[in-house]
Structures are given as C-alpha cells and as structure tokens.
Structure 1
Amino acid sequence: GFVPDPDGRGTVSIVVSCLLTLLLCVWQALHLNVPKRGETLWEKLVTNILWITVGIYAPELVVFTAWRQWSSARLLGKIATEEQNKVQNSLDNREDNGEGKGSGDVHIEKTTKRRVSHKRKYKWTGIHSFFASTGGFAFEIDDTFDEKGALQTPFLSAECPRRLTLTARGVALLAKCGLLPDIPEEEIRDKSKANTLAKALVVLQAGWMLVQVIGRLIDRLPVTLLEVNTVAHVLCAFSMYTMWWNKPLLPEEPLILKGDWVHPLCAYMFMSSEMSEKVDKPKIHSRSVVKRLFASLKVYLKIPELERLRIRLNSNCSHNDDNITLTNPGGSIKATLKRKSDAHPTFTLSSKRSLENLRSIREARKSSETAFFERRPRITAADRASTPPTQIHLRRWKLAAGALQTYPILRDQSFILHSHAPQTSIDEEDISNQVCIHCQPTELLKPYIQNWLYDDLLRNVGGLTVSMILWLSNFIYGSLHAAAWNEHFPTTAEKWLWRASCSYISFAGGLWIILNWVAAAYPPLNEFWERWMDGAKGRIWSIFLGIVVFVCGFSFAAARVYLVLEAFISIRDLPRKAYDTPDWTQMVPH
C-alpha cells in the first residue's frame, strides 16, 4: 500500500541540499570574460577554480565585480544610444536637404566633427554592451602593403600581441567616432553558452532554499550554520543573476573589427593604453618589497606612450588643422608629422616644465577618479629619452596623427593641458609661439579583458563611492553570518570563533568605509599610502606597515575560511529540532 515519507530530515539531506545549492549558486551564476588568445584548457580550468574559490569564500567580491560590469555596460549602452541618435539625426537632416541619397560614402560632417555612416541595421542592446565590456570586440593587426605591393613598416613591435581587445572605454570611443559595430544580437547569443532552462533551475533551487529557511524561522525551528552560509550565497547569486542576466556566458572568441579606419584608431588607442609601455624589470627588483610583490603579480601602473608625447596644432590650436605634431617630452624627441606631405620628421628638444604641470593635473584627477583599493604602485618604465624613435614608433605616431585629424572628438575628449613649444636652434622654424596640447591617456586596448576589475570599465561615480560599495558589501556579508550569533554550536570555542570571525569581517568592512572617506577628505593619508607602496617611506615604516598589512590580511582570510569550514563541521552536532521540518514543506514537491 501507500507509505508516506517520514517526517523530518536527516544529516545527508541537509548537507546534499545545501551543497547542491551552494555549488549551483557559485558555478552556474559565474560569468567570466572572453579568455585570452591561445589559452589552454588547463589555464581555463585554473581560472574557473580560482573564481569558484572566491565565490565560496568571498561571494560579495563576485557580486561587486558583477555590479561594476553591469554599471559599465549600462553606461556604455547610454553612450551608444546617444551617439546613434546624433548620427540618425544627422542622416535625417542630410536626407531633408537632399544630400547623400543613394551614397554609401562615409564622410566627416562639418558641423558636428564626427564620422557619420549609414543608418544602423541592428539596434544596440544591453547584450551588445555586456559583450563589449567583457572583451567581445578586438582588432587583429596583420602585415599591410602599400599600393605598389610593398610591405609597409609595422606600427607594433614584434613582441606586441597581434590581437588587441577593446575595453569598454575603447568601445565607447568607437561610438563617439560613429564606428560602433553593427551586428545582430543573435550573433552574440550564438557565442554564449547560456541556457535559460539551466538558469531557471538554479533560481528555483536557490529560491526553495531561501523559502525553507524563512519557513523554519516562522515556525521557530533552528537554522543550521550551513544553511546560514548557503543563504548568504543564495542572496549573492540572486544579485549576480540580476546584474549578469544579459551577459553572454563563456564566450570563447571575440568578434574581429575590420575596415580602413582600424589601423589609425588602433595606433592611437594602443598609445593611450598601458600596454604601449615597457617595464624596466631590473629597476623593479631594486625597489621596495611591496613593489616587487605587486610586480611579481604584474600589478603595477605604467605610463602610456601617449602621456609622454605632446601634440602641437600647427595653426594656433585650431581644430581644422591639417598638421598634427607628436612630441616626446620625456627627454629630447619630437616628431613633426604632416598628413598632407611625406616630409621626413624633424626633431627638437621639448619642455620639461609642462611635464611637471601635466603630472600634477594627472595625479589630482587620478586621486578623485580612482578607488582607494584600485591604486597600484607606479613602475619606472624603460628609458626612452636616450633612445631615438624607431621606424615602428614613427609609423605608429603617423597613424595616430591621422586619427587625431580624422576624429577631432579624440582631442575634445582627451584634452588635459595647454603648453607652448620651446624655441630651439635645432628646429628649422621658430615654434616658440605655437600652442601644444597634452592628452589624458585612457585604457582603450588590452591583450584581453581580465575578470578582476581595473580601470578599463566605464563608470559615472567617483572612486570614493566605488570603494564604499565594495566594503559595504563586505560588511553585509559578515552581518549575515552574525545572524547565527545565538544558534547552536558544538563547542563554546567554536561559538566564539564564529562570533569573532563575523565581527572581524564586518569591522574590516566598516573600517575601510571610514578609511576611504577619510582618504578622500584628507589627501595626505592617500599620499602616505601611495608613497609606502612606491617604496618612498623609510625602512622602519615599510617593515612596520608591511607587518600590519600582512597580519590584518591573513586574519581576514582566515576568518572567511573558518566561516565556511565551521558551517560544514558543525553538522556533527545539531539539536534535535534541527531535523524537524515545517508541515507545509511536505506538501510542496521539491
């Protein structure tokens, strides 16, 4: 005959239910970026294991990553929509005036100074924005030939990767130049491994776990520590799913952008990015222990090539100039590149005073735009002052000069400082009264988009806000576990270790919120931190702060590990009522 299921639940059902929910929330909710070119199966496996580990022990970091990517994609979508509307309005005006009908030409519009093309076939959506923010668009730079079939000088050195991935900032720049990729949404979906049914099953399983815990609280039944930990991951998973819903899952390859506009813009974007600068590795090893540690992890700040160059507008700084001059203020080199002639570049000495002003402006902007935790030690780059530019440099500068002339938006967006070119006897003409501008470099290209956050994402909030959101999520994670403050523990020692771990994690989050606020309000604290990272403090200070940072960091990691381990080992000794279940759960299939 019919035999109903026994009342209650057992140890196995508790562990299996929580473990299944935990793994689904961590693994299925994780959306990684497009991998680097040539990444092996082993490297992909290591990356996934690393992020799954982070998702288990620090899920709020993954939520924070999802939030940054979501906010960047949202802002990119807004920029793309605005630029599309401008282009469409321009095309409509041309049609109303009887211009450009039946023409397939791309032209420079006189009034708006932007590149205008045909009406887009496909609407730019949130999926496009997420795909672009995660490394979905790239350039592939191959050998080029001139009209006579002769091989042209490359503008990238042999050690540079030939596939350059556009960052979210890079795609936003394409939008402002009127060059946003026009592809159907279905093409991006085809690259995604996303499965709507799989997502729905994860949401249902996670939702059922949350409902069970709420039901136990209503019926005043004990909630195990494992369930508390699992609920924290469920809430994080819901947040990740909400923000990553439009993000393609596990795309393998980017879409390669092609066109006659690629090389000039790619040259400019490369020069604006940190990958354009080499690092003098022997000098790294001679610096502080902190800098060597960051350098070993390849986490350091380099000075892009564009920041070392100066742009001279040859007609009193007019935006209608035919000539663009790129100069090297790092030591002694200036190359005058004329678009309308094939004249050989001339070289003169450049101003050092303008460099000092440029650096002070850059540092002021960086401190307000960069989050406290995003600061990276500055690394001395390879010395370019004593080495004349190679043909590769000149070719790159010439292409970048062409981009600056074709797309005035580059000068409008990047302008940072005016300076006057110095008079010198080396040059054949008197340029002392000619105005130069300096540009603020931006991360526009990378070999590939890393999953952890750097300054390649778009954002419309300051560094202080970003930092506070990160540490607020950390505070919330610790507080969720503190909800089990008075729950049953196998031993008193385990109870107090749990309480100490929750308190320390929450305290650290709250402390860093305060420190970020103080650092923003009191710049000397920020400068002190950066000087320590750069090895500019004395040996005693470096050792003392190094010990403090190590002890605090190790304790922070140990507290997180303990919360996860204790959640599982506490299953060995549960109160009897922990095995009871609310009556209504027996009526719900699950």
Structure 2
Amino acid sequence: MHHPPLLALLALLPLLLAHPTASTSLYLQLESLQSNLTALHSTLAPSWVSAPNIRGTNSILYSCLLTLFACIYTALHLNIPARGSGRWRLLRDKCAWGFAALIGPEVVLYYASSQFLEARWLARDLRRVLGDEEGLLWKGQEEGVQMAEEGAQPKGGERQAGDWRFNLKYGFFVVMGGLEMWHRAPGGSPVLRTLSPSGIRKLAAANLAPLKIPLSTIEDRSKADTIQKGLVLLQVAWMALQCITRKALGLPLTLLELHTMVHVVCAFIMYAFWFEKPLDVRNAELVDHADFGDVALDEHTDFYPRRGNMPEYKLEWVLRGNVKEIFGSSDSLLVALLFVLPLLYGGVHLSAWGFEFPTAAEDVCWKAACVFIALALVMWCLVHWVCMFAELVLLHLCGLDVEYLTDLNLIVTGRIFFFVCVVCRLYIVIEAFVGLRAVPIGVYWTPSWIQMIPHV
C-alpha cells in the first residue's frame, strides 16, 4: 500500500531539522541582492528556510508589553461600580487600577486572595443557614452543608425550585457589591446602600428566600469570556516558557523580562483566585428590606462605605496610615500575606544582583529600591511600636497622654513610607525599560523551537 503524502512528509523531516547555517547564508545573500530585482525573482531558495535564532529589541519590547497588558488589564476583575457611572468613568477606574497593578501587582493579588476567602466564608455560612432551615443537619453539620450545596432533598419537604446555589460565585457576587437595599438612617431619608457580607448574614438569619438569586442572573450580567481567558493564558504561558528556557540554558535575561515574569506569576494566581468571580458586572440586584421584618442593620458594618458604591479594593488605609485597619483582619493568613507578598516582590527583583546595569548609580538605586519595597511594611511597624513605647514612657514618667501625637506620627510616617514606596516601584518599572539600552549580547540569542510555539 502506498502513502505518498506520508512519504513526502518523511522526506521533509531532514529539512525541518536542518541546521540554521543554511538560513544564515540565505539572509546574507538576500542582503547583497536586495537592490537587484531580477536576481530576487530568478534565484531559487533552498527547500526549507528557518527563522534566525536571534531576536531584536523591538521583539523583546513587544512581547513584554503585550504580556504585561494581558497580566494587568485583562486579569483585573473589578467590583460593581456606582450607579450612574458612565463609560469614561469605568475606563478611568480600570486604567487607574491597571497602573496600581503595574507598580504593585502583589497588592492586587492580596485583595484577590482576601476576596476569595471572604466569598468562600460567606457561601459556607449561607449554606449552613440553608441546611438548618431545611432540616439537612440531622446527618451531621458538615455533611448537611454539603447536601444543601448539592441540592439534596430536605428531610421535611421539597426544596424551592430554581437554579440558585450558595456557591463561590454567589459569594463573589455579594463581595463585589451585587446586592443593594434602601436603608433609612436614624433621622434621615432612605438611601440606596450596598450590603456587605455582615449585613447578608443578618438578613439570611431572618429570611433566606429573598437572597436566593438565580445563578443565571449573575452569569447573564458577567462579561467573562473563556476564549479570551484562554488566549491570555496562552500568551502568558509562552512568555513564562521562554524565560524559563533561557534561564535553564544559561542565557541572560533582561530586567524587563524579569519584571514581566513577576506579573506572569501574579496573573496566574489572580486568575486562580478570581476564576469564579463575575467579570465586568455593571448593575447590582435590589432586595427589599420589608422581606426581612424588623432586622436592624448597622450603618458602618452591614453596608459598604458610602463613597458612591463600595470602593475598589479599599486603599484608603494607605492614605490615612491607620495601622488598625491594616491589621484588623481576623484571618492570620491575610496578615501574613501583607508581609510576605512585598518581600517576595522586592526579593525577586533583587535577584538581579549580578546584572550588568548601564551605570553604577542605576545598580545601587535598583538594589536600594528592592530592599525598601521588601521591608517597608516591617519598618513602618517598627516605627509604630517605637511610638507606642514612647507614649507609654511619657505616660508613666511624666503623666502626659500623648496618644494624639502617636496617631499623628503614624499618619505622617505612613504617608512618607507610602510615597517613598511608590517612587521605588516606579523606578523599578522605568529602569526595566531604560535598561534595554545596554544589555549583554547573549540576550538576543534564542532557541529556534521557542519561536515555533503559537504566541502573539
């Protein structure tokens, strides 16, 4: 039996695996004949021509910029904006948070992890209330919660029909500001407020039925696109594979590629945390307070802050320098991440210790910026403890209550540390690009098989 196409493919294999020297000579020949149109039309080329095993500065810039955009702009899953926000307001907010993610990707990563944990805890608590209402806890609490999540039939009757589930996606919908209610403050007129997880728990204890939002409603409002996410992850994975291969072969990397790899790792983890979070939801669901009887909601804890709608990622603590808000989390994992993530960000950039910088001054500034970023929060805590110690000493020795001086000191030092940290982060981003003007020659050599992997 004959297989002409298969034989032809086998005959091409030696050409596919040919050494790039032949292509190099072809490019030299093209260079010499570029002004001879007759020769360009009549001279035959070899049967197979491979791409050169070098890359240019423009290709490094292009691939890194595209990967940074994919890791920053497309990976951001912002909360629901305030009602009446126009298109330009939404674009401005996303660009502002894109800039924040550019200079501090671990900050966005921290809030992605905190939102994931908050959504998970809320969904678990609601399922526990559901199981208690429907008699599903008779087999044991944890098993009953699992039965409630999976739609098991209750012991005492039929479940309410519908496609709702108190799962992680529902928890994210609430955490991102998906449920609103008209709330009347004492002595004031009704104001439309966004319910927080604390408020949802109080309402669920009184009446769970109005909170059963169908998942189809949440999914219809989400702009999540699986194909788009797949293409983004493909480009990010290609960049990661290229850098890992170069490192394994002992080839030098640029500072820009090192900086991009930090964003690649953060993007992968953010996608993992926000995989179930609805994307670009514009409108929230309205629930009626009358459905919950006389449940009293606290103005400060059961609603998100009044600034239009719930704020994106709550960075006010940075500007106010309030240590209690920073360490007010009840979860020790989140507090640990506050210290670990900046330490990793600064430490990874500090791994460029042996890089050849264009000037000695840039080398020193890079190392100083990395060290400050890694230890900024630790140093600020030391300042806080020193202020507290000084306050106690003055109180016991002199009888002076200087608590207001301590708070003032914390605010001033907090803003100083924040400003210096932003400057250091900006320097790292700028130096990553500027440093391309003087790099080792090995930066431009690349394995040919890397270019055969599909990428943009």
TM interval, shorter chain, is 0.7 to 0.9
| Alignment match, 1:64 | 110
Verify: 1:264 aligned to 2:287, yes or no: no
Relative to 1, partners in 2 of residues 1:220 and 1:249: Cα closer, same or farther, differing over 3 Å? same
Which residue in 1 is equivalent to 2:273?
243
Please state how far the C-alpha of 1:41 moved relative to its aligned partner: 2.9
**How many positions carry a matched residue from both structures?**
372
Question: Match of 1:261, SS?
Answer: helix
More helix by share: 2
How far 1:490 sits from its partner (Å)?
A: 1.2
Contact 1:137/1:257 (<8 A) preserved? yes
Q: Which residue of 2 aligns with 1:164?
A: 193
Which residue, 128, 132, 145 being the options, matches 1:86? 132
Quote the Cα distance in structure 2 between the aligned partners of 1:262 and 1:178: 6
Counterpart of 1:505? 373
Tell me the equivalent position of 2:441: 576
Specify whether residues 524 and 576 from structure 1 end up closer, same or farther in structure 2 by C-alpha distance, changes over 3 A only: closer
2:18 corresponding residue in structure 1: none
Counterpart residue type for residue 136 of structure 1: G
Distance 1:40 1:229 in 2: 34
Check the 8 A contact 2:181/2:289 in 1, yes or no. no
Report the Cα distance in structure 2 between the residues aligned to 1:484 and 1:174, rounded to whole angstroms.
53
Distance in 2 between the 1:231 and 1:12 partners? 18
2 CA distance for matches of 1:264 and 1:571?
A: 65
CA displacement at 1:221 relative to structure 2: 0.5
Alignment RMSD: 3.4
Establish whether residue 203 from structure 1 lines up as the match of residue 233 from structure 2: yes
Check whether the contact 2:53–2:447 (CA below 8 A) recurs between aligned residues. no
What TM-score results when the alignment is normalised by the length of structure 1? 0.57
Q: Is the 8 A contact 1:117 1:178 kept in 2?
A: no
1:452 is aligned to 2:318: no
SS in 2 for 1:484: helix
TM-superposition CA deviations, 1:504-526 (whole Å, max 9, x none)? 111224445x659x96xx99569
1:123 matched to which residue of 2? 165
- Does the CA contact (< 8 Å) of 1:21 and 1:230 recur in 2? yes
Q: CA 1:583 to 1:482, structure 2 compared with 1: closer, same or farther past 3 Å?
A: same
Deviations 1:417-465 (A, max 9, x none): xxxxxxxxxxxxxxxxxxxxxxxxx33455422212489x9x9962665
Which residue number in structure 2 is paired with residue 273 of structure 1? 299
Work out whether residues 88 and 119 of structure 1, in 8 Å CA contact, stay in contact via their aligned partners in 2: no
Q: Deviations over 1:254-289 (max 9, x none)?
A: 111137325733xx21xx123xxxxxxxxxxxxxxx
Find the counterpart in structure 2 of residue 253 from structure 1: 283
Question: Alpha-carbon deviations, 1:321-355, whole Å to 9, x = none?
Answer: xxxxxxxxxxxxxxxxxxxxxxxxxxxxxxxxxxx
Q: Decide whether aligned partners of structure 1 residues 60 and 90 sit closer, same or farther in structure 2, where only a CA change above 3 A counts.
A: closer
Q: 1:538 to 1:256 in 2, by over 3 A?
A: closer
Do the aligned residues in 2 keep the contact of 1:216 with 1:222 (CA within 8 Å)? yes
Q: 1:446 to 1:563 in 2, by over 3 A?
A: closer
Q: Which structure has more strand as a fraction of its residues?
A: 1
Identity of aligned residues (%): 32
- Counterpart in the other structure of 1:14: 60
Does the 8 A contact of 1:475 with 1:510 survive in 2? Answer: no
- Residues in 1 aligned to 2:165 and 2:424: alpha-carbon distance in whole angstroms: 48
2:177 corresponds to which letter in structure 1? Answer: G
The aligned residue for residue 255 of structure 2 is 225
> How many Å separate the matches in 2 of 1:139 and 1:526?
46
Q: Provide the rounded CA distance (Å) in 1 between the counterparts of 2:312 and 2:390.
A: 26
Could you tell me the TM-score, scaled by structure 2's length? 0.73
Work out whether 1:185 is the aligned partner of 2:215.
yes
Change (3 A) 1:525 1:6: same
Conserved 8 A contact 1:32-1:451: yes
Paired amino acid for 1:138: E
Structure-1 residue corresponding to 2:360: 492
User: What is the Cα deviation at residue 175 of structure 1?
Assistant: 2.6
Asked whether the 8 Å contact 1:505–1:559 carries over to 2, the reply is yes
Secondary structure of the 2:352 match is coil
Deviation of 1:496 (Å): 1.2
Matching residue of 2:181:
139
Deviation at 1:543, TM superposition (A): 7.7
Give the letter aligned to residue 554 of structure 1: F
The answer to whether the 8 A contact 2:112-2:274 is kept is: yes
Deviation at 1:178, TM superposition (A): 3.7
Query: 2:302 — aligned with what?
Result: 443
Deviations 1:84-109 (A, max 9, x none): 1111107999xxxxxxxxxxxxxxxx
User: Equivalents in 1 of 2:440, 2:418: separation in Å?
Assistant: 35
Q: Using a 3 Å threshold, how does the CA distance of structure 1 residues 41 and 467 change in structure 2: closer, same or farther?
A: same
CA distance in structure 2 between the aligned counterparts of 1:260 and 1:546, rounded to whole angstroms:
42
How far does residue 481 in structure 1 lie from its aligned partner after superposition? 0.5
Quote the Cα distance in structure 2 between the aligned partners of 1:510 and 1:120.
53
> Do the aligned partners of residues 586 and 553 (structure 1) sit closer, same or farther apart at CA in structure 2, a change above 3 Å counting?
closer
Q: Is the 1:475–1:509 Cα contact (8 Å) retained in structure 2?
A: no
Q: Is the 8 A contact 1:9 1:581 kept in 2?
A: yes
Question: Which 4+ residue blocks in structure 1 deviate beyond 6 angstroms?
Answer: 90-93, 538-546
> Could you tell me how far apart the structure 1 residues matched to 2:129 and 2:445 are?
60
Select which of 173, 191, 203 maps to 2:202: 173
Q: 1:473 to 1:490 in 2, by over 3 A?
A: same
Offset at 1:538? 8.3
Alpha-carbon deviations, 1:86-142, whole Å to 9, x = none?
11107999xxxxxxxxxxxxxxxxxxxxxx99646332221111001111111246x
Q: Give how far 1:466 is off.
A: 3.0
Provide closer, same or farther for how the CA distance between residues 135 and 35 of structure 1 changes in structure 2, counting only shifts above 3 A.
Answer: same
Distance 1:246 1:90, change over 3 A: closer
Taking structure 1 as reference, are residues 164 and 507 closer, same or farther at Cα in structure 2, changes over 3 Å only? Answer: closer
SS of aligned partner of 1:138 = strand
Q: Indicate which of 238, 243, 253 corresponds to 1:213.
A: 243
Q: Which residue in the other structure is 1:558 paired with?
A: 423
* Match in the other structure for 1:109: none
Q: Any stretches of 5+ residues in structure 2 without a counterpart?
A: 1-44, 140-156, 318-324, 396-400
Mapped partners of 1:547, 1:254: distance in 2: 38
